[in-house]
Amino acid sequence: MIVKTESKEYKIEFINSNNYNKIADLILENINFTQAVIITESNIPNEYSDLLAKELKVNRLSVEIIKLESKGETNKSFKILENLLSQIFTITKPTRKMKIIAIGGGVIGDLAGFVASILMRGVGFIQIPTTLLAMTDSSIGGKTGINAFDLKNVIGSFYQPDFVVINSYFLQTLNYNEYISGYTEIIKHAIIDNSDNLFELLIQNSDKIRSRNSEFMSMILHKSCAVKSRIVEQDEFETKGIRATLNFGHTIAHAIEKLPELNEKILHGTAVGLGMIYELKIAEKLSILETQEIIEKLEMSFQSLDLPTKISQLVNIEDTKKLVDLMIEKMLVDKKNIHSISEPEIAFSVPVELGVMKNISISKSKCIELLMEIIS
């Protein structure tokens, strides 16, 4: 699969293999370099980075590995960014021909991509995502960055990778919760752009998704990545309103992730799943969504895969107003919002029907009213 954006054209290669000689050869067939730094996390199996580095070194490449001991969203910080850059300059002599290789989930991809974008004013990087969420979403499209000032992804850049390797073999090592949380991004793509009837395909095959059926997962990974690629190609820098549709579910998801009881405890994909359900209900309340059927099928799918469909399944809601106020506080600082003099408006991208999206803004007071009605 080829992704063609304004700034760069690059290839996504789909494989299912633990043959690291094959993976190294695949990379070298597509990318020319002699020096690389692999960035990964301690919770990623050692073989992913160690065996790939070994095979690359066989080809007389200089390869160093930086394995972060911390994990998750805590790695998307100024402190970790500075430490990473310091390590790179300590163990290598960077040049603009160096490549950064990200091996991990979305956090590592975002962080390593941002490092690549600012190191020597920009070096190339290769995405090797190891989670379902990263494979289908964050490894494609060039959004890189870190969190700061208690806000998500507010320091960063649009910086496309040179090459992406989607290796479905990695899915077999994920724990179930980590694996299934990534499914929410796939069904999000199916709602945004229901090409090839992807939504119904997912709804009708929960058993194959749960069992990680290799053939089926490879197929839907390809279909999901195709949706993400098409949207990115049309609106690389999110200036035309097209790429904004990928934020479906995320406005509320980011607020859920920052709730005191869930902060750094809830997986991003799980929060996105809840965000989609609540944003669909908002669209229904506003008479934008044409049918309840999408909500019903989405909830049915999540229930069959042990994904939550209500915040109350994760936290004890004693005071709905307090919960809503906390969520609104976080939603108001979203970088996509409109800050008018009279009253701030919160941005959403919601479905009208399967495959048809609408970008809207809702006043703070109306948003509070709607959340009070649907939160449970």
Does residue 351 surpass a pLDDT of 70? yes
Does residue 337 surpass a pLDDT of 90? no
Comparing 160-169, 190-199, 332-341, which segment has the lowest mean pLDDT? 332-341
Digit-coded pLDDT (tens) for 51-104 = 999 999 998 899 999 999 988 889 999 999 999 999 999 999 999 999 999 999
Domains of the chain with CATH codes: 2-174 (3.40.50.1970), 183-374 (1.20.1090.10)
**Which contiguous run of DSSP H or E holds residue 189?**
helix 183-192
What is the pLDDT at residue 305?
98
Alpha helix stretches (DSSP H) within 211-352: 214-234, 250-257, 268-285, 293-304, 320-331
Stretch 257-272: mean pLDDT: 91
What is the pLDDT at residue 264?
78
Q: What is the mean pLDDT of the chain?
A: 94
Q: Please give the share of the chain, as a percent, with pLDDT higher than 70.
A: 99
Q: Which residues pair with 338 in a beta bridge?
A: 345
What is the pLDDT at residue 263?
83
Digit-coded pLDDT (tens) for 202-225 = 999 999 999 999 999 999 999 999
Find all residues with CB under 8 Å of 290, minimum gap 6, and list them: 352, 353
Q: Which residues pair with 357 in a beta bridge?
A: 351
Q: Check residue 167 and give left, alpha or beta (phi > 0: left; psi -120 to 50: alpha).
A: beta
